[in-house]
Structure 1
Amino acid sequence: MATMKVDASFSVLTGNNIDALLFKAGSVIFRKGDEARDLFVIKSGQVRIQIGNRTVTELGPDSIFGEMALIDNEPRSATATAVTDVELVPVSEKQFLFLVSQTPYFALKVMRVLAKRLRATNKTFG
């Protein structure tokens, strides 16, 4: 089980005035195969990403997950579960495109997350 902390903080998206979704520990946030509309930023708590019974990673505050949804419009490729009580800030495709257009560095931060996860997967399965 790999734990990843990405150098790019997404805490700017989880400010005090931003509505968050609450999930209790043990709750499924989404399942592999579900329709995907948003990426999520973890405001607080821990989230486990699994494929089948295999844990891919556990993520903590200021991390993102579900980002592939906004890039390829495919169903979810993994299941996300709240390890602890979590607060999540959803980011829609419209918001994502706005952030990318206003702050091109934001796109690079998301690409860095994807690249780190791909490299970790390659080490695991390579």
Structure 2
Amino acid sequence: MAINNVLERRFFPAGETIFREGDTGSVAYIIQTGTVELSCGRLMIAELQDNAIFGEMALIDGAPRMATARAQTDVTVILLPRAVFESKLVGVDPFVSRLIGILINNVRNFAKLVG
């Protein structure tokens, strides 16, 4: 069975906030249809569309969300819970896991500098 057949889908109408900067995160999101805007404060940092993944950083390092995600258009997402995300990392070389953690930390530090 394909993973997207067992994961929950959620609809967000245009303009609705999906999560806010500073929230804790227990899921990542895969955009099935629509457009999502990511922003830090008043600065838009990304516009994401179909098949993009967002919210994954909180799953990797457990830190609060570093951006606000808002549906620019009507959006349908697939929710990727922490347990499923972590199950995909089982067996990954520890070096690669640590490297991912370092990259996430660098992104967060850079965001603090420019924010």
Same topology, TM > 0.5 = yes
Q: CA deviation at 1:13?
A: 5.3
Aligned to 1:59: 48
Corresponding residue number in structure 2 for 1:93: 82
Confirm whether residue 25 of structure 1 aligns to residue 25 of structure 2.
no
Letter in 1 for 2:19: F
TM superposition score normalised by structure 2: 0.74
TM-superposed CA distance for 1:92, in Å, is: 1.2
Partner of 2:58: 69
Equivalence for 1:40 = 29
In the alignment, the residues of structure 2 paired with residue 83 and residue 95 of structure 1 have an alpha-carbon distance, to the nearest angstrom, of 27
Partner-residue secondary structure (3-state), 2:85: helix
Query: What 5-or-longer segments of structure 2 have no aligned partner?
Result: none
Q: What RMSD, in angstroms, separates the aligned Cα atoms of the two structures? A: 2.7
Deviation, structure 1 residue 14: 4.1
Task: Tell me the CA shift for residue 50 of structure 1.
Answer: 0.2
Q: 1:14/1:86 Cα in 2 relative to 1: closer, same or farther (>3 Å)?
A: farther
* 2:7/2:80 contact within 8 Å kept: no
Task: Quote how far apart the aligned CAs of 1:18 are.
Answer: 4.2
Gaps of 5+ in 1: 1-11
1:65 and 1:13 mapped to 2: Cα distance? 17
Return the alpha-carbon distance in structure 1 between the equivalents of residues 21 and 88 of structure 2. 26
- 2:59 counterpart letter in structure 1: L
The structure with the largest alpha-carbon Rg is 2
